[in-house]
Amino acid sequence: MLWSLETNEKELFLTFDDGPIPQVTPKVLDILDQYEAKATFFCVGENVSKHPNVFAEVKNRGHLVGNHTYNHSNGWKTSTFAYLRQYLIAQSLIDTEWFRPPYGRIKPQQLKAIKKRSMVVMWDVLSGDFDPTITIEQCVQNVVDFVQPGSIVVLHDSLKAEARILGALPIILKQLKGNGYTFNTLRK
């Protein structure tokens, strides 16, 4: 599993989970454009089915896409057969070599099967933007205080995270860009 990337540059790898969502994802894309930042979007297959134009826009703007199962399945609470089915259905829609397990929860048998077809991506920095009990400022600090070159940062382009991500993302990008960081899509 990939937790961070080796790099000699001051570069970060922002990732967004749970979209595409028409009320949030286009706003996130606009903010990324303002800071010349590229990111990787781990998409829920059901959302890709519902919002193909938003999914296409993510790719058209030069971002990478990854598989996040079809229904945002928790691997610990889902049989291996059902989980792999969710993975494959989403894969047929997203067509990517990148996969992130929802909640970061995946059973060893699920991981073994998926690793044969996809790079499984985790993270080393968690923004917490999905948590309604934290502030925008805490979300910013959760990222800015803990990144290092090569960090994979988890953010969300979901309705649940909307207020925090739209408030925090411009601050995060401005501060980190001011510190000399660039923002790129994942790579092997």
Catalytic residues: 17, 156
Distance of CA 181 to the CA centre of its chain: 18
Place of tokens 């990148």: 98
CB-CB contact of 153 with 13 (8 Å)? yes
Helix, strand, coil content of the chain in percent (nearest 5): 45, 20, 40
Can you list the positions of beta strands (E) in the chain?
11-17, 39-43, 64-67, 98-99, 119-120, 125-126, 152-156, 182-183
